[in-house]
Amino acid sequence: MADRLLDGQRVLLGVTGGIAAYKAADLCSKLVQAGAQVDVVMTEAAARFVAPLTFAALSGRPARIDMWSAPGGDPIPHVRMAASTDLVIVAPLSANTLAKLALGLADNLLTATLLATPIAALSKPGFDGGVPWILAPAMESHMWANPLTQAHMVALVARGAAQVGPGRGRLASGAMGAGRMAEPAEILAAARLALARRGPLAGRRVLVTAGGTQEPLDPVRYLTNASSGKMGLALAEAARDLGAAVAVVHAPLAVPMPYGVESVPVRTAQQMCDAVLARAGTTDVLIGAAAVADFRPAEAAGQKIKKTPGQEELLVRLARNPDILGEVAAQRAQTGWPRAVVGFAAETQDLLANAAAKLVAKRLDLIVANDVTEPGSGFGADDNRVTLLFADGRQEALPIMPKAEVADRVLAAVLPLLQPD
Protein backbone atom coordinates (compact mmCIF):
# COMPACT_ATOMS: atom_id res chain seq x y z
CA MET A 1 0.00 0.00 0.00
CA ALA A 2 1.29 3.44 -0.92
CA ASP A 3 2.84 5.33 1.98
CA ARG A 4 1.86 8.97 2.44
CA LEU A 5 5.47 10.11 2.75
CA LEU A 6 7.22 7.80 0.28
CA ASP A 7 4.57 7.70 -2.44
CA GLY A 8 5.93 9.26 -5.64
CA GLN A 9 9.36 9.96 -4.13
CA ARG A 10 12.39 9.34 -6.34
CA VAL A 11 14.78 7.29 -4.26
CA LEU A 12 18.39 6.63 -5.16
CA LEU A 13 19.27 3.34 -3.46
CA GLY A 14 23.03 2.84 -3.31
CA VAL A 15 24.13 -0.73 -2.70
CA THR A 16 27.76 -1.46 -1.85
CA GLY A 17 29.74 -4.66 -1.41
CA GLY A 18 28.92 -6.80 1.57
CA ILE A 19 26.89 -9.84 2.48
CA ALA A 20 24.09 -7.54 3.71
CA ALA A 21 23.49 -6.57 0.06
CA TYR A 22 20.87 -9.33 -0.03
CA LYS A 23 18.84 -7.37 2.53
CA ALA A 24 18.91 -4.36 0.20
CA ALA A 25 16.71 -6.34 -2.18
CA ASP A 26 14.03 -6.50 0.52
CA LEU A 27 14.48 -2.78 1.18
CA CYS A 28 14.10 -2.07 -2.54
CA SER A 29 10.89 -4.11 -2.63
CA LYS A 30 9.49 -2.30 0.44
CA LEU A 31 10.26 1.11 -1.10
CA VAL A 32 8.52 0.15 -4.35
CA GLN A 33 5.49 -1.15 -2.41
CA ALA A 34 5.39 2.18 -0.56
CA GLY A 35 4.99 3.92 -3.93
CA ALA A 36 8.57 5.17 -4.41
CA GLN A 37 10.38 5.20 -7.74
CA VAL A 38 13.65 3.45 -6.96
CA ASP A 39 16.86 3.82 -8.96
CA VAL A 40 19.46 1.36 -7.77
CA VAL A 41 23.13 2.20 -8.20
CA MET A 42 25.52 -0.58 -7.23
CA THR A 43 29.25 -0.78 -6.82
CA GLU A 44 31.05 -3.56 -8.66
CA ALA A 45 31.63 -5.28 -5.33
CA ALA A 46 27.89 -5.21 -4.58
CA ALA A 47 27.18 -6.90 -7.92
CA ARG A 48 29.35 -9.83 -6.77
CA PHE A 49 26.93 -10.45 -3.91
CA VAL A 50 23.57 -9.79 -5.61
CA ALA A 51 22.84 -9.69 -9.34
CA PRO A 52 21.76 -6.30 -10.75
CA LEU A 53 18.89 -8.20 -12.34
CA THR A 54 17.41 -8.76 -8.87
CA PHE A 55 17.14 -5.02 -8.28
CA ALA A 56 15.99 -4.35 -11.85
CA ALA A 57 13.18 -6.85 -11.40
CA LEU A 58 12.16 -5.42 -8.04
CA SER A 59 12.33 -1.75 -9.05
CA GLY A 60 11.18 -2.10 -12.64
CA ARG A 61 14.12 0.10 -13.66
CA PRO A 62 17.68 -0.77 -14.73
CA ALA A 63 20.15 -1.19 -11.86
CA ARG A 64 23.27 0.77 -12.78
CA ILE A 65 26.90 0.08 -12.02
CA ASP A 66 28.98 1.50 -14.81
CA MET A 67 29.75 5.18 -15.18
CA TRP A 68 30.68 4.71 -18.82
CA SER A 69 27.79 2.74 -20.27
CA ALA A 70 24.75 4.75 -19.22
CA PRO A 71 21.49 4.15 -21.13
CA GLY A 72 21.34 6.24 -24.33
CA GLY A 73 25.05 7.05 -24.02
CA ASP A 74 24.35 9.78 -21.43
CA PRO A 75 27.77 11.36 -20.74
CA ILE A 76 26.82 12.71 -17.31
CA PRO A 77 24.47 10.12 -15.75
CA HIS A 78 25.64 10.98 -12.23
CA VAL A 79 24.67 14.64 -12.55
CA ARG A 80 21.33 13.81 -14.10
CA MET A 81 20.50 11.24 -11.42
CA ALA A 82 21.58 13.58 -8.63
CA ALA A 83 19.28 16.29 -9.96
CA SER A 84 16.27 14.00 -10.07
CA THR A 85 16.52 12.44 -6.59
CA ASP A 86 14.34 13.20 -3.57
CA LEU A 87 16.04 10.81 -1.16
CA VAL A 88 19.34 8.96 -0.94
CA ILE A 89 19.66 5.64 0.88
CA VAL A 90 22.92 3.71 0.94
CA ALA A 91 22.36 0.23 2.33
CA PRO A 92 24.57 -1.57 2.98
CA LEU A 93 27.26 1.09 3.24
CA SER A 94 30.70 -0.53 3.25
CA ALA A 95 33.73 0.91 5.05
CA ASN A 96 35.30 1.56 1.64
CA THR A 97 32.40 3.58 0.21
CA LEU A 98 31.89 5.36 3.55
CA ALA A 99 35.50 6.55 3.40
CA LYS A 100 35.10 7.71 -0.19
CA LEU A 101 31.92 9.64 0.61
CA ALA A 102 33.52 11.33 3.61
CA LEU A 103 36.54 12.36 1.54
CA GLY A 104 34.56 13.41 -1.53
CA LEU A 105 36.00 10.80 -3.87
CA ALA A 106 34.10 10.08 -7.08
CA ASP A 107 35.65 7.00 -8.66
CA ASN A 108 32.52 5.09 -9.59
CA LEU A 109 28.93 5.85 -10.57
CA LEU A 110 27.63 5.68 -6.99
CA THR A 111 30.26 7.91 -5.38
CA ALA A 112 30.18 10.36 -8.32
CA THR A 113 26.39 10.61 -8.11
CA LEU A 114 26.44 11.14 -4.36
CA LEU A 115 29.18 13.77 -4.60
CA ALA A 116 26.80 15.63 -6.92
CA THR A 117 23.89 15.24 -4.45
CA PRO A 118 24.15 17.73 -1.57
CA ILE A 119 23.08 16.41 1.84
CA ALA A 120 19.91 18.11 3.06
CA ALA A 121 19.94 20.37 6.09
CA LEU A 122 16.79 18.76 7.54
CA SER A 123 16.23 21.68 9.90
CA LYS A 124 16.09 24.27 7.09
CA PRO A 125 12.98 25.01 4.99
CA GLY A 126 13.02 23.07 1.72
CA PHE A 127 16.03 21.17 3.07
CA ASP A 128 18.16 24.11 1.88
CA GLY A 129 18.26 22.66 -1.62
CA GLY A 130 19.69 19.34 -0.47
CA VAL A 131 18.44 15.78 -0.38
CA PRO A 132 18.07 13.65 2.78
CA TRP A 133 20.74 10.97 3.03
CA ILE A 134 20.10 7.78 4.97
CA LEU A 135 23.22 5.70 5.59
CA ALA A 136 23.06 2.11 6.82
CA PRO A 137 26.63 0.97 7.47
CA ALA A 138 27.40 -2.74 7.54
CA MET A 139 30.80 -4.29 7.92
CA GLU A 140 32.97 -6.52 10.06
CA SER A 141 33.11 -5.26 13.65
CA HIS A 142 36.81 -4.33 13.70
CA MET A 143 36.39 -2.29 10.52
CA TRP A 144 33.44 -0.51 12.11
CA ALA A 145 35.33 0.12 15.36
CA ASN A 146 38.36 1.54 13.51
CA PRO A 147 38.72 5.23 14.43
CA LEU A 148 39.12 6.09 10.74
CA THR A 149 35.73 4.55 9.93
CA GLN A 150 34.18 6.25 12.93
CA ALA A 151 35.63 9.61 11.88
CA HIS A 152 34.21 9.21 8.37
CA MET A 153 30.76 8.43 9.76
CA VAL A 154 30.90 11.38 12.15
CA ALA A 155 31.90 13.68 9.26
CA LEU A 156 28.88 12.68 7.18
CA VAL A 157 26.46 12.87 10.11
CA ALA A 158 27.81 16.34 10.92
CA ARG A 159 26.84 17.35 7.39
CA GLY A 160 23.26 16.16 7.93
CA ALA A 161 23.25 12.47 6.94
CA ALA A 162 21.08 10.20 9.09
CA GLN A 163 22.86 7.08 10.34
CA VAL A 164 20.79 3.93 10.87
CA GLY A 165 22.54 1.10 12.67
CA PRO A 166 24.68 -0.86 12.54
CA GLY A 167 23.25 -3.32 15.03
CA ARG A 168 25.05 -5.87 17.14
CA GLY A 169 24.74 -9.56 16.50
CA ARG A 170 26.22 -12.44 14.56
CA LEU A 171 28.33 -11.20 11.64
CA ALA A 172 29.24 -13.00 8.42
CA SER A 173 32.62 -13.88 9.95
CA GLY A 174 30.79 -15.85 12.64
CA ALA A 175 31.91 -13.37 15.29
CA MET A 176 29.49 -11.46 17.48
CA GLY A 177 29.76 -7.70 17.44
CA ALA A 178 28.61 -4.39 15.99
CA GLY A 179 28.38 -4.23 12.21
CA ARG A 180 25.07 -5.80 11.15
CA MET A 181 23.07 -3.71 8.74
CA ALA A 182 19.88 -2.29 10.24
CA GLU A 183 16.74 -4.15 9.20
CA PRO A 184 14.99 -2.81 6.08
CA ALA A 185 11.93 -1.80 8.14
CA GLU A 186 14.10 0.42 10.32
CA ILE A 187 15.81 1.99 7.30
CA LEU A 188 12.39 2.66 5.79
CA ALA A 189 11.27 4.29 9.04
CA ALA A 190 14.36 6.51 9.06
CA ALA A 191 13.64 7.52 5.46
CA ARG A 192 10.06 8.45 6.37
CA LEU A 193 11.27 10.45 9.35
CA ALA A 194 13.65 12.45 7.16
CA LEU A 195 11.04 13.13 4.47
CA ALA A 196 8.50 14.20 7.11
CA ARG A 197 10.76 17.09 8.06
CA ARG A 198 9.32 19.02 5.09
CA GLY A 199 5.88 18.94 6.73
CA PRO A 200 3.81 21.77 8.22
CA LEU A 201 4.96 20.94 11.78
CA ALA A 202 8.68 21.03 10.90
CA GLY A 203 10.52 22.89 13.64
CA ARG A 204 7.63 22.43 16.10
CA ARG A 205 7.65 20.38 19.29
CA VAL A 206 4.63 18.24 20.09
CA LEU A 207 4.13 16.59 23.47
CA VAL A 208 1.55 13.83 23.86
CA THR A 209 0.41 12.06 27.02
CA ALA A 210 -0.66 8.43 26.66
CA GLY A 211 -1.70 5.37 28.64
CA GLY A 212 -3.42 4.86 31.96
CA THR A 213 -1.56 6.05 35.04
CA GLN A 214 -0.92 3.50 37.80
CA GLU A 215 -1.51 4.59 41.39
CA PRO A 216 0.17 2.21 43.86
CA LEU A 217 -1.78 0.67 46.70
CA ASP A 218 1.13 -1.43 47.89
CA PRO A 219 4.35 -2.70 46.21
CA VAL A 220 2.41 -5.12 43.94
CA ARG A 221 -1.05 -3.58 43.50
CA TYR A 222 -2.27 -0.39 41.92
CA LEU A 223 -5.35 1.47 40.69
CA THR A 224 -5.47 2.00 36.93
CA ASN A 225 -7.79 1.91 33.90
CA ALA A 226 -8.01 0.16 30.54
CA SER A 227 -6.09 2.70 28.44
CA SER A 228 -3.69 0.93 26.07
CA GLY A 229 -1.93 4.06 24.80
CA LYS A 230 -3.04 3.35 21.20
CA MET A 231 -4.76 6.71 20.78
CA GLY A 232 -1.84 8.66 22.20
CA LEU A 233 0.73 6.87 20.07
CA ALA A 234 -1.41 7.34 16.94
CA LEU A 235 -1.34 11.07 17.68
CA ALA A 236 2.43 10.93 18.15
CA GLU A 237 2.85 9.20 14.78
CA ALA A 238 0.59 11.67 13.02
CA ALA A 239 2.52 14.62 14.46
CA ARG A 240 5.84 13.00 13.57
CA ASP A 241 4.68 12.46 9.98
CA LEU A 242 3.86 16.18 9.77
CA GLY A 243 7.47 16.95 10.69
CA ALA A 244 7.24 17.69 14.42
CA ALA A 245 9.78 16.62 17.01
CA VAL A 246 7.53 14.47 19.19
CA ALA A 247 7.83 13.25 22.77
CA VAL A 248 5.31 11.07 24.60
CA VAL A 249 4.99 11.14 28.38
CA HIS A 250 3.40 7.81 29.02
CA ALA A 251 2.24 5.37 31.63
CA PRO A 252 2.90 1.66 30.85
CA LEU A 253 1.75 0.92 27.28
CA ALA A 254 0.29 -2.08 25.47
CA VAL A 255 1.79 -0.99 22.14
CA PRO A 256 5.36 -0.12 21.03
CA MET A 257 6.65 3.46 20.78
CA PRO A 258 6.75 4.62 17.14
CA TYR A 259 10.11 5.15 15.43
CA GLY A 260 11.64 8.56 15.93
CA VAL A 261 9.40 9.51 18.86
CA GLU A 262 10.98 10.29 22.25
CA SER A 263 9.66 8.12 25.06
CA VAL A 264 9.29 9.61 28.56
CA PRO A 265 8.08 6.77 30.77
CA VAL A 266 6.26 7.54 34.02
CA ARG A 267 3.90 5.62 36.24
CA THR A 268 1.71 7.86 38.37
CA ALA A 269 -0.36 10.96 37.64
CA GLN A 270 2.02 13.03 39.79
CA GLN A 271 5.02 11.80 37.78
CA MET A 272 3.16 12.50 34.52
CA CYS A 273 2.32 15.99 35.77
CA ASP A 274 5.96 16.71 36.69
CA ALA A 275 7.23 15.45 33.32
CA VAL A 276 4.66 17.46 31.35
CA LEU A 277 5.26 20.68 33.29
CA ALA A 278 9.02 20.32 32.82
CA ARG A 279 8.52 20.29 29.03
CA ALA A 280 5.49 22.55 28.60
CA GLY A 281 7.61 25.70 28.31
CA THR A 282 9.28 24.44 25.13
CA THR A 283 6.24 22.68 23.67
CA ASP A 284 4.26 24.09 20.75
CA VAL A 285 1.39 21.62 21.01
CA LEU A 286 0.35 19.53 24.02
CA ILE A 287 -2.18 16.75 23.46
CA GLY A 288 -3.50 15.03 26.59
CA ALA A 289 -4.70 11.62 25.49
CA ALA A 290 -3.68 9.83 28.70
CA ALA A 291 -6.30 8.42 31.01
CA VAL A 292 -5.06 10.06 34.20
CA ALA A 293 -6.31 8.86 37.58
CA ASP A 294 -8.04 11.74 39.36
CA PHE A 295 -7.41 10.04 42.72
CA ARG A 296 -4.65 7.87 44.22
CA PRO A 297 -4.51 5.81 47.39
CA ALA A 298 -3.69 8.40 50.07
CA GLU A 299 -1.06 6.10 51.55
CA ALA A 300 0.67 3.36 49.59
CA ALA A 301 1.51 0.50 51.96
CA GLY A 302 5.22 -0.22 52.25
CA GLN A 303 4.59 -3.98 52.21
CA LYS A 304 2.03 -6.17 50.42
CA ILE A 305 -1.32 -5.72 52.17
CA LYS A 306 -2.36 -8.95 53.93
CA LYS A 307 -5.91 -10.06 54.58
CA THR A 308 -6.59 -11.05 58.16
CA PRO A 309 -8.91 -13.93 59.20
CA GLY A 310 -12.52 -12.77 59.16
CA GLN A 311 -11.76 -9.53 57.37
CA GLU A 312 -14.66 -8.74 55.00
CA GLU A 313 -13.62 -5.38 53.65
CA LEU A 314 -10.69 -3.08 53.19
CA LEU A 315 -11.27 0.64 53.11
CA VAL A 316 -8.90 2.66 50.98
CA ARG A 317 -8.80 6.41 51.40
CA LEU A 318 -8.09 8.25 48.16
CA ALA A 319 -6.36 11.59 47.73
CA ARG A 320 -6.81 13.97 44.82
CA ASN A 321 -4.21 13.91 42.04
CA PRO A 322 -3.16 17.10 40.27
CA ASP A 323 -5.14 18.05 37.18
CA ILE A 324 -2.30 18.04 34.66
CA LEU A 325 -4.04 20.10 31.99
CA GLY A 326 -5.24 22.49 34.69
CA GLU A 327 -1.65 23.01 35.88
CA VAL A 328 -0.53 23.51 32.28
CA ALA A 329 -3.25 26.14 31.80
CA ALA A 330 -1.97 28.07 34.82
CA GLN A 331 1.60 27.96 33.52
CA ARG A 332 0.45 28.90 30.02
CA ALA A 333 -1.39 31.96 31.33
CA GLN A 334 1.99 33.23 32.56
CA THR A 335 4.27 32.18 29.71
CA GLY A 336 2.15 31.72 26.60
CA TRP A 337 3.47 28.17 26.20
CA PRO A 338 2.36 25.67 24.97
CA ARG A 339 0.98 27.49 21.95
CA ALA A 340 -1.94 25.07 21.64
CA VAL A 341 -3.41 22.59 24.14
CA VAL A 342 -5.74 19.73 23.23
CA GLY A 343 -7.54 17.55 25.74
CA PHE A 344 -9.62 14.41 25.49
CA ALA A 345 -12.83 13.74 27.39
CA ALA A 346 -13.66 10.09 28.06
CA GLU A 347 -17.35 10.09 28.93
CA THR A 348 -20.01 7.49 29.67
CA GLN A 349 -22.93 9.95 29.71
CA ASP A 350 -23.82 13.48 28.51
CA LEU A 351 -20.84 13.36 26.15
CA LEU A 352 -20.96 16.80 24.62
CA ALA A 353 -22.06 18.71 27.73
CA ASN A 354 -19.36 17.12 29.88
CA ALA A 355 -16.70 17.61 27.21
CA ALA A 356 -17.69 21.27 26.73
CA ALA A 357 -17.41 21.84 30.50
CA LYS A 358 -13.88 20.34 30.51
CA LEU A 359 -12.90 22.47 27.51
CA VAL A 360 -13.71 25.58 29.54
CA ALA A 361 -12.45 24.37 32.94
CA LYS A 362 -9.07 23.29 31.55
CA ARG A 363 -8.79 26.35 29.26
CA LEU A 364 -8.23 24.16 26.17
CA ASP A 365 -8.19 25.15 22.49
CA LEU A 366 -9.78 21.89 21.46
CA ILE A 367 -11.26 18.87 23.22
CA VAL A 368 -11.81 15.47 21.69
CA ALA A 369 -15.04 14.07 23.12
CA ASN A 370 -14.87 10.32 23.36
CA ASP A 371 -17.98 8.23 24.15
CA VAL A 372 -16.24 5.27 25.76
CA THR A 373 -19.40 3.16 26.04
CA GLU A 374 -19.59 2.39 22.30
CA PRO A 375 -18.44 -1.17 21.50
CA GLY A 376 -15.30 -1.26 19.34
CA SER A 377 -14.37 2.29 20.27
CA GLY A 378 -12.45 4.02 23.07
CA PHE A 379 -10.30 2.17 25.63
CA GLY A 380 -8.10 -0.53 24.13
CA ALA A 381 -9.85 -0.56 20.73
CA ASP A 382 -8.20 0.05 17.36
CA ASP A 383 -11.00 2.42 16.35
CA ASN A 384 -12.54 5.46 17.96
CA ARG A 385 -15.60 7.64 17.51
CA VAL A 386 -15.05 11.21 18.58
CA THR A 387 -16.46 14.71 18.27
CA LEU A 388 -14.10 17.69 18.12
CA LEU A 389 -15.18 20.68 20.21
CA PHE A 390 -13.33 23.94 19.59
CA ALA A 391 -12.94 26.85 22.01
CA ASP A 392 -14.81 29.09 19.54
CA GLY A 393 -17.89 26.85 19.77
CA ARG A 394 -17.45 24.87 16.52
CA GLN A 395 -18.15 21.14 16.68
CA GLU A 396 -17.19 18.38 14.26
CA ALA A 397 -18.66 14.92 14.79
CA LEU A 398 -16.56 12.20 13.14
CA PRO A 399 -17.73 8.69 12.22
CA ILE A 400 -16.07 5.70 13.87
CA MET A 401 -12.65 5.25 12.24
CA PRO A 402 -9.17 3.81 12.98
CA LYS A 403 -7.31 5.71 15.70
CA ALA A 404 -4.64 6.63 13.11
CA GLU A 405 -7.31 8.49 11.12
CA VAL A 406 -8.73 10.14 14.25
CA ALA A 407 -5.18 11.32 14.97
CA ASP A 408 -4.87 12.79 11.46
CA ARG A 409 -8.14 14.66 11.94
CA VAL A 410 -7.06 16.00 15.33
CA LEU A 411 -3.72 17.19 13.94
CA ALA A 412 -5.45 18.79 10.95
CA ALA A 413 -7.60 20.71 13.44
CA VAL A 414 -4.51 21.75 15.43
CA LEU A 415 -2.56 23.25 12.50
CA PRO A 416 -4.73 26.39 12.15
CA LEU A 417 -4.42 26.97 15.92
CA LEU A 418 -0.69 27.61 15.57
CA GLN A 419 0.38 31.14 14.77
CA PRO A 420 3.47 31.43 12.60
CA ASP A 421 6.47 32.05 14.90
| Residues contributing to the site for ligand PMT (CB under 6 A) | 209, 227-232, 269, 288-292, 294, 321, 323-325, 343-346, 358, 370, 372, 378-380, 384
- For residues 49 and 295, which CB has a smaller minimum distance to ligand PMT in the complex? 295
Catalytic residue among 96, 225, 370, 384: 225
Give the residue with the Cβ less far from ligand PMT, 25 or 324.
324
Q: How far is the CB of 86 from ligand PMT (least distance, A)?
A: 34
Helix locations, 65-208, DSSP H: 77-83, 95-103, 109-115, 141-145, 147-158, 184-196
Task: Please say which residue, 15 or 208, places its beta carbon nearer to ligand PMT.
Answer: 208
Of residues 54 and 384, the one with the C-beta less far from ligand PMT: 384
- Distance CA(209)–CA(283), nearest Å, equals 13
Phi-psi region of 57 (alpha: psi -120 to 50; beta: other; left: phi over 0): alpha
Residues 6 or more apart in contact with residue 396 via CB below 8 angstroms: 387, 388, 390, 409, 413
> For residue 162, what are the contacts with CB-CB under 8 A and spacing of at least 6?
122, 132, 133, 134, 135, 190, 193, 194
146 is catalytic: no
Rounded to the nearest whole angstrom, what is the least distance from the CB of residue 369 to ligand PMT in the complex?
Answer: 9
- Helix 230-241 with 184-196: angle, nearest 10 deg: 60
Shortest distance in whole angstroms from residue 240 CB to ligand PMT:
17
Find the shortest distance in angstroms from Cβ 327 to ligand PMT: 8
| 3-state SS class at 130 | coil
Nearer to ligand PMT, 82 or 253 (CB): 253
Q: How far is the CB of 254 from ligand PMT (least distance, A)?
A: 7
Whole-number minimum distance, CB 358 to ligand PMT, in Å? Answer: 5
Distances (CA, A) of 406 to 3, 67, 385, 402: 18, 49, 8, 6
Strands 295-297 and 285-288: unpaired
Q: How many helices (H) and strands (E) does the chain have?
A: 14, 21
Q: How far apart, in whole angstroms, are the C-alpha atoms of residue 376 and residue 381?
A: 6
Q: For residues 179 and 212, which CB has a smaller minimum distance to ligand PMT in the complex?
A: 212
> Cα separation of 207 and 416, whole Å?
17
Known catalytic residues?
225
